Chains A and B, each alone.
Chain A
């Protein structure tokens, strides 16, 4: 069974940093590209970042470019999102997703003073 479990969310002050993790199991992680998607409270879904299976191709949404960094460790079956210079508008539930098919349950990031 495919499982994706996010962690690392929490309360952080504006300008702060946070690193999200996504632990994958139930499939060959190194064979799949991965995405981060977020959802602000009461709002719709917003794609954040993409990483190919070998990390050779990476994309970011304009809203996070230069502040967020996606990475993965195929030996540890893990996906990461390093978030720097956080803003109030980054407050959201962050989901990791295998391609666009399977999604984790999400981790809440709250940016507030």
Chain B
């Protein structure tokens, strides 16, 4: 099984800050990775697919990069509506594997 290690598990940031979240896969997954945002009481929403492609309707301040085993989600300028929990998901092989999540909180 492929393990996904996500860091940090939480972070505090201010509006306007640049935020970076990382996921590491235990083995190569090409670019078979997505990034999701989840707000309390809501379903996860995909932001990025294929590691670096922006989902339609998602603001351009979100970007993804990486391939193989190292992946990054970047929020270029944090907005109030971005305070949420973020997860990576590998879909290269089953069982699917989620990262442990990163809670982005207001500083």
Which residues of A are at the interface with B, using a C-beta cutoff of 8 A? 35, 37, 44-47, 50, 59, 61-62, 95, 99-106
Given known pairs A100-B34, A100-B89, A101-B49, the reply for A47 and B96 (CB within 8 Å) is yes
CB pair B98–A100 under 8 Å, yes or no, is no
Residue from A35, A44, A105 within 8 A of B43 (CB atoms): A105
CB pair A44–B98 under 8 Å, yes or no, is yes
CB pair B98–A47 under 8 Å, yes or no, is yes
Taken together as a complex, chains A and B put the C-alpha atoms of A100 and B36 apart, in Å, by 10
Residue from B45, B94, B95, B100 within 8 A of A44 (CB atoms): B100
> Number of residue pairs across A and B with beta carbons under 8 Å?
46
| Residues from 26 to 49 in B contacting A, C-beta threshold 8 Å | 34, 36, 38, 42-46, 49
Taken together as a complex, chains A and B put the C-alpha atoms of A37 and B89 apart, in Å, by 12
Chain B residues, CB < 8 A from A99: 91
Chain B residues, CB < 8 A from A106: 43
Given known pairs A44-B101, A100-B46, A103-B43, the reply for A59 and B94 (CB within 8 Å) is yes
Q: Mark B86-107, 1 if CB is under 8 A from A, else 0.
A: 0101010011111111000000
Q: Mark B38-62, 1 if CB is under 8 A from A, else 0.
A: 1000111110010000000000000
Taken together as a complex, chains A and B put the C-alpha atoms of A104 and B100 apart, in Å, by 21
How far does the Cβ of A58 sit from chain B's closest Cβ, in whole Å?
A: 10
